[in-house]
Amino acid sequence: GARAFARDDRASAEARDAPTGATTLELMGYFDAGAGGRARYRRVGDEPGHAGKLKTADGAWWELAAPVLRPEMFGAVVGDGETDETQAIYDALRCAMVTRLVLEVTRSHAIFQDLVLAAAFHLRGGHGSGELQLYGGCTLRVIRGDGSQTVRHGVIENIRIEDATDQPAWLPEPMLEIWRSASWRITGCIFDGRVRRRIGVWVGRGSTIWASAIRDNRFHACQIGVAVGDTGDATHNDFSGNTADHNRIAGA
């Protein structure tokens, strides 16, 4: 109807005025129609504080109105696990962090730089194929301030995170690192360290972790599967159903 309109891709939407009175915009793709990144946007009065947005030529701001976020909505449309999609994945994670929507990953995406988030998010693998490939020893890190402030209520589930390149012996940086944390849920994931030289997951780094569930994950070919806490305590957590195999150190 008159209140909705569509464009083939992001560039064509940004290059034209929105129809008068339109409140909904649908992109048929991020770079090209049908190539990935189809999404619906709603008109908003001010610029959104995350990357799930665009501005049409008339100056109107539009915000993602999808029930579930996907990396393709931020330009990660290759999904071959080799092409650098660091910025798109970072933008998608930040949008999930700000909007509290689920980010669902259904392809293999390559990360070449540390991804640092200052608040919790919900990251989910979909269709049994969601994967983040970490190149050059980079890390997915969650830390607020200097690490002394608690980050609460994050969820990471059913996704594979893999070290994609050979690393020097005893690389100190883990694949997933969460500093002072509470009420996190990490379930059904696979952390593959490739050559047993990286920690899979370090939770409560710099302090403590409590009231969290680390369940039903597989820690494979890591230096250590899970490192828990640092200078503080780890209390009221559920570590159950996890599998550790082919790690340099068998336990946590």
Burial class (CB in 10 A: 0-12, 13-18, 19+), 140: buried
Q: For residue 132, give the nearest of 178, 168, 177, 82 by alpha carbon.
A: 82
Q: Which residues pair with 84 in a beta bridge?
A: 110
Q: Which of 244, 197, 198, 251 lies closest to 228 in space, CA to CA?
A: 251
- Read off the pLDDT of residues 43-79 as tens digits, 9 standing for 90 and up: 999 999 999 999 999 999 999 999 999 999 999 999 9
β partners of residue 80: 108
* d(C-alpha 165, C-alpha 133), whole Å: 9
Residue 190, both tokens: 């696979």
Q: What is the pLDDT of residues 183-219, one digit of tens each?
A: 999 999 999 998 888 899 999 988 899 999 999 999 9
Q: Are 143 and 118 in contact (CB under 8 A)?
A: yes
